[in-house]
Amino acid sequence: MSPFELGLWSFPIVLAMIFARVPIGLAMLVAGIVGSYLVLGSWNPMLAQLKAVTVTTFSTYSLSIIPLFLLMGEFATLGGLSSALFRSSEKILGHYRGGVAMAAIGACAAFGAICGSSLATAATMGRVALPELRTHGYSSALATGALAAGGTLGILIPPSVVLVIYAILTEQNIAKLFVSAFVPGILAAIGYMIAISIYVRLNPNSAGRREKAPLAERLRAMSDIWPVLLIFGLVVGGIYAGWFTPTEGAAVGAAGTGILAFANGGMTREKLLQAFLATALTTAMIFFIIFGAQIYNSFLALSQFPRVIAAVIAGQGLNPWVVLVAVLLMYLVLGCLMDSLSMILLTIPIIYPIMTGFDYGLAPEEFSIWFGILVLIVVEVGLITPPVGLNLFVINSMSKDTPLSATYRGVIPFVTADVIRTAILVAFPVITLFLVRLLSG
């Protein structure tokens, strides 16, 4: 078999291993090691490479942002910030029709600004908001659907670990990606609120009413949110303005969130230990996948497969927009099955060179940003698409009396909102790009 064929066949083999429940990092690592041996006909180059590559990967400065962001997210999760955000958001929005569900979306968005994980956002906000939603007479379908969808804001609104990985794989500026993800993230939150508003008008029995909080109380509620906004602004703004590197920004965020959690009184010794252990588990999991992807990608580069296939596809004269839609649909399907980080590490080294061969009327850097945000959004839609979205399972398991079919029904308005928003962002790249264009003057 030629190196090209080895590269070509390795991909379905890795996917088959993954679907047979082999851990994703292990599947890529084994395929990379064996593949390199088959291409080179000797174990020695790989054995020489392995002398340093574990240590250099785990001590890469640009990757050290990941454990720091994860620690920040754990501080936010365990420090009781979620309930403070929800209470404030409920006082501001709760009296509207469907307002408590909208408040849950708003709180998810705010929480997403200090936490980079979808499942964590869905799980934390679910614990706080589900009982409240049920007390105020919201149907279980709407309550679970809204929270599953709200969770996806965790990864969309920066900081986002997946965007960091995308930036490193495609050699893009992390700060510009963060800034560009912000507007689509806010649009997502608004879209979800509109979906709730329409849903409760069509199904008047699905939501109870709640009296308006006094003005003074609503103002005080707004002031409770400012520390979170301050941390978010400092981290993303500071990275963008060049005050500090992305890793330093993450350190600022971790310290800020940690102090806030202590000030809130949520950070007991027990909770601190939990935060460390959870950070350890997720960090190790992510870095093992990164390591596996690195070995697999060095094999792919050796096989020349990504370069050749990109040239072949570019020479077919295909319509760029058809290709883009096909790629996004592929990500939607994969997103139902696999977590977004693994999928990006597995596919971007092959898909990205193909996509950069097409002309979408954008400068190369702008295309990379736009494509990255689109992929991120589509992957997240996969998290809430029945029958297999992970967020749906997380939220449903927290609401014991809710059948899974009700959650499936409840999430449909939100998936619809996602599809409409994605179509708009595909048709108008400027929506994603205007903020970064504005800021870089």
Distance (Å, rounded) from C-alpha 107 to C-alpha 364?
35
Q: Rule CB under 8 A: is residue 278 a binding residue for another protein?
A: yes
Q: Rule CB under 8 A: is residue 302 a binding residue for another protein?
A: no
Exposure b/e, 248-265, CB count within 10 A at least 16 = b:
ebbbbbbebbbebbeeee
Q: Rule CB under 8 A: is residue 289 a binding residue for another protein?
A: yes
Interaction residues for another protein, span 50-69 (CB under 8 A) = 50-52, 54-55, 58-61, 63-64, 67-68
Q: Rule CB under 8 A: is residue 337 a binding residue for another protein?
A: yes
Spatial CB neighbours of 356, under 8 Å, sequence gap ≥ 6: 310, 364, 367, 368
Q: Which burial class, exposed, middle or buried, applies to 103 when counting CB atoms under 10 A from its CB (0-12, 13-18, 19+)?
A: buried
DSSP assignment of 336-360 equals HHS-HHHHHHHHHHHHHHHHTTS--
**Beta-carbon neighbour count of residue 345 at 10 Å?**
25
Q: Which of 283, 360, 362, 419 is close enough to bind another protein by CB under 8 A?
A: 283
Q: Which of 26, 225, 314, 350 is close enough to bind another protein by CB under 8 A?
A: 26
Nearer to another protein, 342 or 422 (CB): 342
Q: Rule CB under 8 A: is residue 282 a binding residue for another protein?
A: yes
CA distance readout (Å), 47 to 14, 32, 50, 212, 249? 21, 12, 5, 67, 36
Q: Which of 36, 279, 407, 422 is close enough to bind another protein by CB under 8 A?
A: 279
Nearer to another protein, 132 or 339 (CB): 339
Q: Rule CB under 8 A: is residue 411 a binding residue for another protein?
A: no
**What residue has token string 């379905």?**
12
Type of residue numbered 25: G
Distance (Å, rounded) from C-alpha 27 to C-alpha 14?
6
Nearer to another protein, 255 or 325 (CB): 255
Q: Rule CB under 8 A: is residue 38 a binding residue for another protein?
A: no
Nearer to another protein, 65 or 187 (CB): 65
Q: Which of 6, 14, 28, 29 is close enough to bind another protein by CB under 8 A?
A: 29
Q: Which of 222, 230, 241, 281 is close enough to bind another protein by CB under 8 A?
A: 281
Tokens at 305, concatenated: 């497969």
Nearer to another protein, 47 or 430 (CB): 47
Give yes or no for a contact between 396 and 144, defined as CB atoms under 8 angstroms apart. Answer: yes
Going by the DSSP 8-state scheme, the letter that residue 362 receives in this structure is S
Q: Which stretch binds another protein (CB under 8 A): 101-109, 152-160, 188-196, 245-253?
A: 245-253
Tokens at 98, concatenated: 């469907």
The alpha carbon torsion through 368, 19, 296, 313 (nearest 10 deg) reads -50
Nearer to another protein, 52 or 202 (CB): 52
Q: Could you tell me the smallest distance in angstroms from the CB atom of residue 183 to another protein? A: 27
Q: Which stretch binds another protein (CB under 8 A): 5-13, 27-35, 100-108, 313-321?
A: 27-35
Q: Rule CB under 8 A: is residue 216 a binding residue for another protein?
A: no
Q: Rule CB under 8 A: is residue 36 a binding residue for another protein?
A: no
Number of residues that bind another protein (CB under 8 A): 63
Q: Could you tell me the smallest distance in angstroms from the CB atom of residue 164 to another protein? A: 14
Q: Rule CB under 8 A: is residue 20 a binding residue for another protein?
A: yes
Alpha-carbon torsion (196, 201, 206, 212), positive or negative: positive
171: left (phi over 0), alpha (psi -120 to 50) or beta: left
Q: Which stretch binds another protein (CB under 8 A): 139-147, 168-176, 273-281, 350-358?
A: 273-281
Nearer to another protein, 98 or 249 (CB): 249
Q: Which stretch binds another protein (CB under 8 A): 28-36, 89-97, 296-304, 420-428?
A: 28-36
Q: Which of 85, 92, 115, 123 is close enough to bind another protein by CB under 8 A?
A: 123
Q: Rule CB under 8 A: is residue 85 a binding residue for another protein?
A: no
Nearer to another protein, 102 or 275 (CB): 275
Give yes or no for a contact between 32 and 45, defined as CB atoms under 8 angstroms apart. Answer: no
Q: Which of 170, 172, 342, 402 is close enough to bind another protein by CB under 8 A?
A: 342
Give yes or no for a contact between 349 and 294, defined as CB atoms under 8 angstroms apart. Answer: no
Nearer to another protein, 114 or 207 (CB): 114
Give yes or no for a contact between 155 and 380, defined as CB atoms under 8 angstroms apart. Answer: yes
Peptide bond just before 158 cis, omega within 30 deg? no
> Of 371, 383, 390, 393, which is closest to residue 415 (Cα–Cα)?
383
Cα 63 from chain centroid? 17
Under the rule (CB under 8 A), what is the footprint of another protein? 18-26, 29-30, 33, 47, 50-52, 54-55, 58-61, 63-64, 67-68, 71, 117, 119-120, 123, 243-244, 247-248, 251-252, 254-255, 258, 273-285, 287-289, 337-339, 341-342, 388, 394
